[in-house]
Structure 1
């Protein structure tokens, strides 16, 4: 217990209403007077006790550390495991402390302590994924598997972000590890986030430097460790703010300390592999305003704008302004955890976020029978339909409102997929691709935005065993601002007069059935499925005439543009050119339409045509860094390197934080043997993205030619560790041979057929994930 000055408690007695101390009226008897006096004394005592509780309340053990940090750290070090080196106590994570020492758990103020003045924030935090980052069963089951198969020390890779106090206190070692601690129940507690003193380059996996946990600075600006009396905070509010708030807390780099991750060799004893790339995805999105390459422009938004937006609250909170606070729910896409904890509010807010204009689904065009050309856009273009016609329908899905990919993280245990349903006028199903089968599994032939991780032997990893991963069998997603095209084919039934309704929707479930069964058991209540976006159109036998668009439908020029984007990503360059030409016809003043035609020709390796359209776009908008970038690449492929350098230098002044521009400028200097200039550009690339593979490769050569062998060797080593392992393809091909549906999905222009959908519903083994792998990879007990 710690005590403030006595006046802090006594002062409150002075403001007790005078009515408690008024003398009784003269005519009252002594008994009444005695009872009133006793009541007054009791009231005063209760108020005094309440005030004393508020100001003198005991806190969790060690809230004002009794043992000096140096002494505590030395004691922990005696029995601590250092499998990665004595200088890397927190590896395989990248976390560290300012002092380089362990921090006793009691040095971190509890969330309850903070909640005394910030009740609204505390209430929201308690429902959040940060609060539940260690205590929820899905994570605990997975990290316990890692601890049991590789050892507690390897869990430091995960716990840097899921249980920072356990990591930084030295508790992740066999003799000290336990589930029964107060900080396990708090996960990422208030004093964790608000004590970080520095974030390192965007490596992730806890790439932060933890300072002294403190709620108040002293008069000299130094942190006062642990919890302090509330009276002291109220007397020095600015010193409190300085202790718990730093400018970089509002930056996306701050979030990237944990929401970016890789799988280092120290974890998997294999090689470096990328894992979570949320920051990179945001940086390459139109929301960041740091890259010119996205197809559309958007308002500038950082992580906090979406995940900590202003919300109204009726609860008291000293940070509240005009009834609003920054949300500490950090709403994302996890619907499973609030369901587990029966938190209806958190669940409802999560569903609301998933459905908040994040995606656009467009039933864009049809191909009938043996037509080679798409007929569209549907709704604006008429066509004729006959019984027996084979209909191929193009579904375009646009990621319009997410600052990162559709399903971020590793996508191996999360589910997002397209369900495509055709029904006749009586509700009879003609085709159902992507439904949930009776056993709870998603149709294995569904078009899914997931990854399937494989181990060294090509076995499917079903329980998020990232430490065993060697490659992905599939890994589909939709990047921010981009689109994808999914093709479906069905036959119009003979003798059915129609009409037929066609619905395409994007579903989301957190987690998949295999993982949920492993954690909760096979008898658990099904996890909820959220429809993120959907679109329905009606097809008639005979003439289908144009119809007015529905509210929320994109204009036709944008529908063609999104269609072109999907074709470009699927390497259908001729069709992409045609689609972008339709955009240019509708909007001849839109310079990006002409630039997109040029980009399609560039990827088609038709450089003269690319140069023609890019020049046209630049004539309309000479300061378009996007067009300058693609024109520079076109110039370089035409052996016009000086012209390419001029374009890239101009683009770099417009977008100084674009790693793509600096990388290509560096390579252009390298081609001209301007090694010092190339070195400077690639160093800029690495300051933006430390894991840029091309930067490692070219810098290794550049340093060697500049005579700097030490730096050359360093870059060569990083490149060797991070480059793709060609031998991983062997396991992938073996997996494809066993699972032809997955092999088909690996082809971008795969067509989902009516027969394929029926096969899913009639198959005795409805999913590749229902049966355990034939063999268990070394160290990977299931």
Structure 2
């Protein structure tokens, strides 16, 4: 695929457009309020308040400080801001934020919602994708509002006018002030586009208008990078959509959760997605020649590919291919005639024969992503394992995870996606999220965890050694079937990016120990990641074995012992867990992770005083630990101390307003304390957020009708039919 010729054309046109905009803005922006004389709007008495009087954004959460509407023209344009911030403007124009509404991918899905249920329902999506449309009152039947702002999606003054956040509700959980680039001498926001010389003369007043400390927090990103499907949208019940923020908060990078498998320094969303880079164009916000990236590089290759934004596309590809985020390990094999695990590969000698059935184990470690792989709209994106075995002649013995001639992914591939299902037991296509009733499976890899993927094949009798075994993780923004739904079958092939890979050579005959690749994890970590994979697949005995290998290699590694204790707890062998947890504590005094799990053991043993002591220490060290707050609340509940229990569950809700255990327990506790209104509110929240007991039946119907992918719903499963593409006939 060649992007170079298109790149020259795109850059040339962009330069002319930017230059013209700057000249025009310089001429026009010489007086206050060129675009709007009023910051408030009234779309008229015909506005459809379907979801409650005065609630202009429901089923979304976006709102103005004054609770009303805002004139679209009250938002200074991005071109206006670009006069002084040329680099930020140029980056923004190619970034996802500026194209959040207009892309054919988003429009395809949101238009179905509009046609199916009505334009007022699109406020749920557009609270993040098009806040000006929502807050101006444009999203109602027969609106006369000029919607030219649709082309700019999230402009500078949308993000930079947000004054506070609504906890971490998501779905546009922000509160916006009067759009302004200046405040007056009394700190009052000045609406509209002020003359540039005013900004130059009073940069501190400009900064006060457009910068707030919350902009540098992950909670700021959570206002849109966390979403749910509320009852008013689906007329069913509350369903979690995606939780990038929650995943980060539970990861090692937040330093808020003591239960992670590994530790790391605090890293926020902005640290990864707004890294400083050289400012090519003039930008008044640059410091020492660098600017916090307003490209927000992440995983979307489809939008820049569609628009010909070659700089954005290349930056995104470079980001994805940096090699920092995933680790692929061909960690072990097992021969069918033996129960012995040959691991870690490369570090132990073994023999391999022809006509021998082999189980190969691949571990994919989510090493340095602060959220899951894949974090959002998993039903549309594709990330999968491509696994190949070739002999010395180049003949493919195994090929799993290939793309078929029509561009679709082989259905038996191991993918890190999900399959949402509607009430008819059918896959929810075209991102019709309001029809989701169940999740057939979700194979995403959470931050800091490892997925174990197994392949079984037979070494052919006529195979020419050595065998070359390769496992790679590929990624494509939008599955082929969705691209076909949007464009029809006749469209260019969208980029497929290799995120990480590993190749090993297996000799037919003797396989000696080989030198480790510098990019490989050390052997103790390879065992640790294998243990994590076993644990997530509920293979407890194998997990204990793997973690015991860890402490053999690293007897000083406290988490190795803690992992053994954790496995026994999940295995419900609480007494067996104690010795390992105490060993971990002996190596790492007051280790919060060990104390938390030991508290669970103490509870089972009836040692309530020790349980309280341990949990209190954990909460003191990690006050934003959801798990510790929840378990401490349970402790006080069981000890008949309602006031203390309420404190813990309320603290838990401040961390996660959607925690079902908090809703349930507070409903009971408030009622006992005579707080009937609060109790009713919590009971209602619990009723809509708890899992529908009938939902799994929809998934079972789907899985019965799709045996080619039903294995993906089983924690432990084997890929046994990984035939080369030539042996696969048609679509399943």
Report TM bin, short chain.
Answer: over 0.9
CA contact (8 A) 1:445 1:760 kept: no
Measure how far apart 1:463 and its partner are.
0.4
Which among 690, 696, 706 is matched to residue 723 of structure 1? 690
Alpha-carbon distance in 1 for matches of 2:21, 2:304:
34
CA contact (8 A) 2:33 2:191 kept: no
Which among 401, 408, 419 is matched to residue 375 of structure 2? 408
Structure 1 position 145 matched with structure 2 position 112:
yes
Give CA-to-partner distance per residue, 1:617-658, whole Å, 9 cap, x none. 111112211110000011111122221111000011111111
Query: Corresponding residue for 2:601?
Result: 634
Alpha-carbon distance in 2 for matches of 1:394, 1:164:
47
Alpha-carbon distance in 1 for matches of 2:440, 2:30:
51
Query: Corresponding residue for 1:122?
Result: 89
Structure 1 position 299 matched with structure 2 position 274:
no
Alpha-carbon distance in 2 for matches of 1:62, 1:453:
47
Alpha-carbon distance in 2 for matches of 1:240, 1:631:
53
Seen in structure 2, the aligned counterparts of structure 1 residues 748 and 52 have a Cα distance that, compared at 3 Å, is closer
Structure 1 position 196 matched with structure 2 position 162:
yes
- Which TM-score applies when normalising by structure 2? 0.95
Counterpart secondary structure, 2:429: coil
Alpha-carbon distance in 2 for matches of 1:194, 1:630:
43
CA contact (8 A) 1:489 1:752 kept: yes
Query: Corresponding residue for 1:372?
Result: 339
Query: Corresponding residue for 1:243?
Result: 209
Alpha-carbon distance in 2 for matches of 1:381, 1:451:
36
Counterpart secondary structure, 2:427: coil
Counterpart secondary structure, 1:287: helix
Seen in structure 2, the aligned counterparts of structure 1 residues 214 and 67 have a Cα distance that, compared at 3 Å, is closer
Which among 232, 256, 260 is matched to residue 290 of structure 1? 256
Structure 1 position 66 matched with structure 2 position 37:
yes
Query: Corresponding residue for 1:469?
Result: 436
Measure how far apart 1:51 and its partner are.
12
Alpha-carbon distance in 2 for matches of 1:239, 1:458:
57
Query: Corresponding residue for 1:57?
Result: 28
Alpha-carbon distance in 2 for matches of 1:314, 1:87:
46
Counterpart secondary structure, 1:664: helix
Structure 1 position 311 matched with structure 2 position 282:
no
Measure how far apart 1:61 and its partner are.
13
Query: Corresponding residue for 1:206?
Result: 172
Seen in structure 2, the aligned counterparts of structure 1 residues 236 and 297 have a Cα distance that, compared at 3 Å, is same
Measure how far apart 1:298 and its partner are.
1.0
Which among 393, 397, 403 is matched to residue 426 of structure 1? 393
CA contact (8 A) 1:462 1:514 kept: no
Structure 1 position 257 matched with structure 2 position 206:
no
Query: Corresponding residue for 1:4?
Result: none
Seen in structure 2, the aligned counterparts of structure 1 residues 352 and 59 have a Cα distance that, compared at 3 Å, is farther
Alpha-carbon distance in 2 for matches of 1:634, 1:219:
61
Query: Corresponding residue for 1:665?
Result: 632
Alpha-carbon distance in 1 for matches of 2:645, 2:235:
33
Query: Corresponding residue for 2:530?
Result: 563
Q: After superposition, where does 1:13-412 map in structure 2 within 5 Å?
A: 55-57=26-28, 63-67=34-38, 69=40, 72-73=41-42, 76-176=43-143, 181-356=147-322, 357-412=324-379
Measure how far apart 1:757 and its partner are.
3.5
Tell me, which stretches of 5 or more residues in structure 2 are unaligned? 1-19
- Which TM-score applies when normalising by structure 1? 0.89
CA contact (8 A) 2:584 2:594 kept: yes
Aligned-CA RMSD value:
1.8
CA contact (8 A) 2:528 2:546 kept: yes
When the two structures are aligned, how many residues end up with a matched partner? 712
Query: Corresponding residue for 2:555?
Result: 588
Counterpart secondary structure, 2:430: coil
Give CA-to-partner distance per residue, 1:89-123, whole Å, 9 cap, x none. 11000111001111000000000000000000000
Give CA-to-partner distance per residue, 1:203-226, whole Å, 9 cap, x none. 100000010000100111101101
Alpha-carbon distance in 2 for matches of 1:148, 1:617:
58
Measure how far apart 1:371 and its partner are.
2.1
CA contact (8 A) 1:60 1:106 kept: no
Alpha-carbon distance in 2 for matches of 1:646, 1:208:
38
Counterpart secondary structure, 1:392: strand
Seen in structure 2, the aligned counterparts of structure 1 residues 399 and 53 have a Cα distance that, compared at 3 Å, is closer
Counterpart secondary structure, 2:262: coil
Measure how far apart 1:671 and its partner are.
1.0
Query: Corresponding residue for 1:500?
Result: 467
Measure how far apart 1:762 and its partner are.
2.3
Query: Corresponding residue for 1:735?
Result: 702
Alpha-carbon distance in 2 for matches of 1:112, 1:435:
44
Tell me, which stretches of 5 or more residues in structure 1 are unaligned? 1-48, 767-782
Query: Corresponding residue for 1:34?
Result: none
Alpha-carbon distance in 2 for matches of 1:386, 1:427:
19
Counterpart secondary structure, 1:535: strand
Give CA-to-partner distance per residue, 1:441-499, whole Å, 9 cap, x none. 10100011111111111111110000111111111111111101000011111022311
Alpha-carbon distance in 1 for matches of 2:202, 2:629:
47
Seen in structure 2, the aligned counterparts of structure 1 residues 474 and 545 have a Cα distance that, compared at 3 Å, is same
Alpha-carbon distance in 1 for matches of 2:44, 2:21:
42
Alpha-carbon distance in 2 for matches of 1:110, 1:200:
26
Structure 1 position 441 matched with structure 2 position 412:
no
Counterpart secondary structure, 1:167: helix
Seen in structure 2, the aligned counterparts of structure 1 residues 441 and 177 have a Cα distance that, compared at 3 Å, is farther
- Structure with the greater alpha carbon radius of gyration: 1
Counterpart secondary structure, 1:458: coil
Seen in structure 2, the aligned counterparts of structure 1 residues 585 and 730 have a Cα distance that, compared at 3 Å, is same
Query: Corresponding residue for 1:40?
Result: none
Alpha-carbon distance in 2 for matches of 1:304, 1:138:
26
Seen in structure 2, the aligned counterparts of structure 1 residues 53 and 400 have a Cα distance that, compared at 3 Å, is closer
Give CA-to-partner distance per residue, 1:514-565, whole Å, 9 cap, x none. 1101112210011110000000001111111111111210000000000011
Seen in structure 2, the aligned counterparts of structure 1 residues 59 and 173 have a Cα distance that, compared at 3 Å, is farther
Alpha-carbon distance in 1 for matches of 2:668, 2:134:
39
CA contact (8 A) 1:64 1:225 kept: no
Counterpart secondary structure, 2:91: helix
Alpha-carbon distance in 1 for matches of 2:354, 2:195:
80
Measure how far apart 1:55 and its partner are.
4.7
Measure how far apart 1:64 and its partner are.
4.2
Q: After superposition, where does 1:600-679 map in structure 2 within 5 Å?
A: 600-679=567-646
Structure 1 position 550 matched with structure 2 position 521:
no
Measure how far apart 1:59 and its partner are.
9.3
Alpha-carbon distance in 1 for matches of 2:172, 2:95:
19
Alpha-carbon distance in 2 for matches of 1:190, 1:148:
30
CA contact (8 A) 2:32 2:193 kept: no
